[in-house]
Chain A
């Protein structure tokens, strides 16, 4: 299999689908001439022209709403949020229109729209530019929310997203645009609602999505040296959600730690913990642990920022607690 970066896999998916389907267009700030703030759309304007790679003014509500209108009229627009932090400007469009029109139109109209962009923090962008919004958008029925972490998944899920008849919130691991991985050749999609077992293990289930999956794999290596076999689950999709894979794993390991960069309150990890107690109560040997971001707006100073995000040490501590091991 060819090796590609996360960024190139993303671009390849969009470009290939634009070749196949003329109804696919891109909208966003500086995605054309500039090449994209994160170079995800670099070169596409040369390939497809400004009619299909549309540089918009800085007006998220306007162009996101317009993209919804395009989708309602039969097109398949892909909106780039330069970062998801700006999506609050468009929240009325995403939540009040995209998510609900199919329902309140009694099924007459649907919205095949993808909104994509980097999600999460980690590079000292401080309070207004650091959010992980999977819990926020995952809250709304009518939206689909995905968060792939491997180049293979990012391409397959982008293709699935563009072809999906419903609005998809595509949360990219911004910090991983440059990471490389195998990407299958040819046209393929990765189905929504199927978690990926990133590593098999028997002693504890570690659950995450996005960037934190890689963190868990490193923690699992450390645990391996101590003789603990951790199973790592990459959720990939927040809505729809793969309850079964998690429950099957927890029934095997009897313990779970859920890790996320976002705030803990009303979050994905809370949902996972609730699902485990609903479906695997009699299999639990320890309470489900959540490792989350600190309950503060993101700080600027590097040491504070690091302290505010889940660390491998925090995850290891949580694993030891669910294993009833002595803390080190």
Chain B
């Protein structure tokens, strides 16, 4: 049997619509007889019989859209009428495929028809791009060169002012950091991962709590510190019996308007004096270098609404207990009220985190970079103690020092803690030093 195909009638024709059959199976046809009407994008015309004989089969319904080259009917002998053609499906034979290769436009519609008229294969879905989020929501403008140099020299462009058009950071703006004339502002760890993590970890239920800018920044700094600083921890118990008595006596002597000395004030003073005795602890680790501080400025971590802030008491080793007490109270109050000046919290050489007022047995703190150590202070508790071979009741307090192992070793830290302990267990030393 011979096939009658949907003919290509134009240079760009890919398919035609079979409008109407002019002959039915069983009809005798002569070569050139019109057997069907087809419609292209340009015109309606007739398909002619490709040879003489009988129309044996019509292979597509009226109204069907048929790719060019596809058989629409067969012509054969009278006894072949109604017999299925060798190829039952009204689509291109596989053996046409190699020849159809260059004429991809012809081959593809055929393939589509073979899958029951399914439309184009599903497009490969591109992975959604990673969202780039800037902490402050404002686009950082920097020239491509600057961005590359910033990466190479570990310069935090968030901390660099741009002088180019629209605030663009240009080469000149970072030249001093690249040349090493000035230490580069360190990249506060790029915040871009944080939101995506939060997003990923967000439970299916619950509400996302807005983080304050302060909390975000604290979080970033703490995450960075915990990730980058090799922390190690040393603990000791301090018998605070004498210190508590000293505090009671002193407060009684000071009277109502003299202000009260707190355990915290005693700890600050003790820690500061111990730093003076053990200056290696009073260091910072900056750019792979150790910085020995000239002064002893003790930060105290203060919990405030929306975060944590650590104002410091400058030259704490040289201040009297009374002065420390007064300044600590003032800083704490203003921290909670949001009245601190930058110079009161930007800086410091050693930090104390005191959770004693919250009834905690012990805890460890995360170092406040770039400082080398932080002292965690727990609650003072009545505890059985052995003194001179006898069991008695003592008031014990746990101190844990977290230290940066790049800056400090265990022995130095242990010696320092002994020193703190000595001051606190002999409170008169705090009063006279």
Whether A and B touch directly in their complex, counting CB atoms under 8 A apart, is answered as: yes
CA distance A102 to B64 in the complex (A): 45
Task: Report the minimal beta-carbon distance from A189 to chain B, rounded to whole angstroms.
Answer: 38
B164–A282 contact, CB under 8 A?
no
The answer to whether B170 touches A284, judged by C-beta atoms less than 8 angstroms apart, is: no
Is B170 touching A286 in the complex (CB atoms < 8 A)?
yes
Assess whether A281 is interfacial by the CB under 8 Å rule: yes
Interface centre among A285, A286, A324 (most CB of B within 10 A): A285
Proximity bits, B157-189, A CB within 8 Å = 1, else 0: 000000111000011100000000000000000
The answer, yes or no, to whether B143 is at the interface (CB within 8 Å) is yes
Contacts A324-B163, A324-B164 given; does A285 touch B171 at CB 8 Å: yes
A283 CB within 8 Å of chain B: yes
Whether the Cβ atoms of A286 and B147 lie closer than 8 Å is: no
CB-based contact A254/B145 at 8 Å: yes
Q: Which residues of A contact B170 (CB under 8 A)?
A: 285-286, 324
Interface size on B, as a range, is 10 to 19
Grouping DSSP codes into helix (H, G, I), strand (E, B) and loop, the B interface class, with mixed when no group exceeds half, is: helix
Query: Quick check: A324 and B148 within 8 Å, CB to CB?
Result: no
Contact A324–B145 (Cβ < 8 Å): no
A254 CA / B170 CA spacing, docked (Å): 10
Interface readout for B339-366 with A: 1 if CB under 8 Å, 0 if not?
0000000000000000000000000000
Cβ of B32 within 8 Å of any chain A Cβ, yes or no, is no
Q: How many residues of A contact B (CB 8 A)?
A: 8
Contact B144 A284 (CB under 8 A): yes
The answer to whether residues A284 and B145 also contact, given A254-B171, A324-B170, A324-B172 and a CB cut-off of 8 A, is: yes
Q: Contact at A281–B163, with CB atoms within 8 Å?
A: no
In the complex the two chains form, is A282's CB within 8 Å of B163's CB?
Answer: no
Q: Name the interface residues of A254-271: CB closer than 8 Å to any CB of B.
A: 254
Task: Decide: A283 and B164 in contact? CB cutoff 8 A.
Answer: no
Determine whether the beta carbon of B172 is less than 8 Å from that of A282.
no
- Could you pull out 28 A-B pairs where Cβ atoms are within 8 angstroms? A254-B143, A254-B145, A254-B171, A281-B144, A282-B144, A282-B145, A282-B147, A282-B148, A283-B144, A283-B145, A283-B148, A284-B143, A284-B144, A284-B145, A285-B143, A285-B144, A285-B145, A285-B146, A285-B170, A285-B171, A286-B143, A286-B164, A286-B170, A324-B163, A324-B164, A324-B165, A324-B170, A324-B172
Taking A285-B171, A324-B163 as given, write out 16 further A-B residue pairs in contact, using a Cβ cutoff of 8 Å, ordered by the A residue number. A254-B145, A281-B144, A282-B144, A282-B147, A282-B148, A283-B144, A283-B145, A283-B148, A284-B144, A284-B145, A285-B146, A285-B170, A286-B143, A286-B170, A324-B165, A324-B170
For the complex of A and B, 3 pairs with smallest distance between CB atoms: A282-B148, A285-B171, A285-B145
Which chain B residues have a beta carbon within 8 Å of chain A's beta carbons?
143-148, 163-165, 170-172
